[in-house]
Amino acid sequence: MPGVQIGIVGKPNVGKSTFFAAATLHDVKIAPYPFTTIEPNVGIGYVRFKCVCKELGVKDNPRNSLCIEGWRFAPIELVDVAGLVPEAWKGRGLGNRFLDHLRRAGALIHVVDAAGSTDSEGRPVEQGSHDPLADIEFLERELDMWIFGMLEKDWKRFAMTVEAMGSKLDKELYKRLSGLSVSEESISEAIDAAGLQSRKPTAWTAENLLEFVKELRARAKPMIIAANKADQPAARQNIERMQEVLKGRYVVIPTSAEAELVLRKAAAASLIKYLPGDNDFETIGRLNEKQEIALELIRKRVLKVWGSTGVQQVVNTLVFDILGYVAVFPVADEHKLSDNQGRVLPDVYLLRRGSTVRDLAYAIHSEFGEKFITAIDAVTGKRIGADDLLVHRSIVKVVAGR
């Protein structure tokens, strides 16, 4: 399984499963009423970036990824969960069960109904009558209360033990929150950001704990907003307002998950030429009248207005800009740019911001990490050190001992 896991969240009936289906081409249940999804859907989506094959003039043989017309598509894992309703953390709707499906997620895509056509519980209402900004506040609160609930129950006893043992609070919190996919560093930063670094844990009030949790959630589960149903007339005004109000807090990207799903299906059926993220499509097959009308509508209401359906852009922005991942091509032969079976640029690895050449070696194989000697940048031919930061789209040969 790929290393980046992203949760798709939001209230019911906003298009989470449609987004998931469009991004993964998995067949999932989509319907215009709340709680269509109960069990989570897990699938592979892709980030898109310019492959190095064209500029280096080589023909590649991708193995863990795809290369289409010079665009690399590297896999990430997407999880589509059931809709969240207000007070889910207390067990309303489907309760905490699916919140637990978000534990492993390193980031979240919050799908919002930008057309304002569903109420706070996902029931259809007149378009434009519900304020999508309210859904953002609510989702933050649900996530916060979920994490708060994990800590609050026996905080007093936990705090007393930490103090009695003279242990470090961030280390102990890290152990308690293992499984939530948070780093010890984020925990320390969150304690500082909440202004609690010099307060004894037994003296933390419920408000202190919640402040800490808010800071932690923002670091542990970075979030992007997919302003969905952007094809609808009422969406534009809401999208502009969301972008204005949330500036500096969240990136808001207009999406039409439905349009993306139609385009990808039409492309899979060889009716059109379209790559996820493209700003237009080209008809190559024979369309019936209904298909022709549907595709023209997508061109007019989505592609011409927003520049793309937004789905690929959401995944890309989250992985590359917000999480800061870099994509690196490891090779065994730095001249042929191949693995030891002659496949050219077979793999691409996505590594977190701040990852080093040594981290890449470990990602290839733990033995490579342990017996690391040096590495070579295949394009410049220069040696690179174990602690050097990995560069996006670089090609690296790791040299390890036997």
Residues that bind Mg ion (CB under 5 A): 16-17, 36-37
Of 5, 18, 186, 338, the one binding ligand GTP (CB under 6 A) is 18
- Joined tokens for residue 325: 């991942």
CB of 289 to ligand GTP, least distance (A): 21
CB of 28 to ligand GTP, least distance (A): 8
Question: What's the distance, Cα to Cα, between the start and end of the chain in Å?
Answer: 27
CB of 15 to ligand GTP, least distance (A): 3
- Joined tokens for residue 175: 């152990």
3-state helix, strand, coil in the chain (%, to 5): 40, 20, 40
- CA distance linking residue 291 with residue 294, whole number of Å: 5
State the amino acid at position 400 in one-letter form: A
Task: Examine residue 83 and tell whether it contacts ligand GTP (CB under 6 A).
Answer: yes
Of 218, 257, 266, 395, the one binding ligand GTP (CB under 6 A) is 257
Q: Using CB under 6 A, which of the segments 34-42, 218-226, 285-293, 374-382 binds ligand GTP?
A: 34-42
Which of the choices ligand GTP, Mg ion, none does residue 61 contact, using the CB cut-off of 5 to 8 A by kind? Answer: none
CA distances in angstroms from 174 to 147, 151, 209, 354, listed in the order given: 13, 11, 15, 21
Q: Using CB under 6 A, which of the segments 16-24, 145-153, 194-202, 209-217 binds ligand GTP?
A: 16-24
Neighbours of 28 (CB within 10 A): 15
Of 4, 6, 7, 37, the one binding ligand GTP (CB under 6 A) is 37
Residue 298 near residue 259, CB atoms below 8 Å: yes
CB of 37 to Mg ion, least distance (A): 3
CB of 378 to ligand GTP, least distance (A): 42
Which of the choices Mg ion, ligand GTP, none does residue 34 contact, using the CB cut-off of 5 to 8 A by kind? Answer: ligand GTP
CB of 36 to Mg ion, least distance (A): 5
Task: Examine residue 16 and tell whether it contacts ligand GTP (CB under 6 A).
Answer: yes
- CA distance linking residue 95 with residue 84, whole number of Å: 8
Task: Examine residue 35 and tell whether it contacts ligand GTP (CB under 6 A).
Answer: yes
- Joined tokens for residue 211: 């402040």
What phi and psi values does residue 293 have, to the nearest 5 degrees?
Answer: -65, -45
Task: Examine residue 236 and tell whether it contacts ligand GTP (CB under 6 A).
Answer: no
- CA distance linking residue 32 with residue 28, whole number of Å: 13
- Joined tokens for residue 70: 């010079």
Binding mask 158-197 for ligand GTP (x = CB under 6 A): ----------------------------------------
Beta carbon nearer to ligand GTP, 123 or 157: 123
Task: Examine residue 297 and tell whether it contacts ligand GTP (CB under 6 A).
Answer: no
CB of 270 to ligand GTP, least distance (A): 24
CB of 135 to ligand GTP, least distance (A): 11
- Joined tokens for residue 118: 């569903």
Alpha carbon 252 to its chain centroid, in Å, reads 14
Of 14, 136, 227, 390, the one binding ligand GTP (CB under 6 A) is 14
What is the residue-wise DSSP string for 241-310? HHHHHTTTT--EEE--HHHHHHHHHHHHTTSEE--TT-S--EE-S---HHHHHHHHHHIIIIIHHHSS-S
Task: Examine residue 228 and tell whether it contacts ligand GTP (CB under 6 A).
Answer: yes
Binding site for ligand GTP (CB under 6 A): 10, 12-18, 30-32, 34-37, 82-83, 228-229, 231-232, 256-258
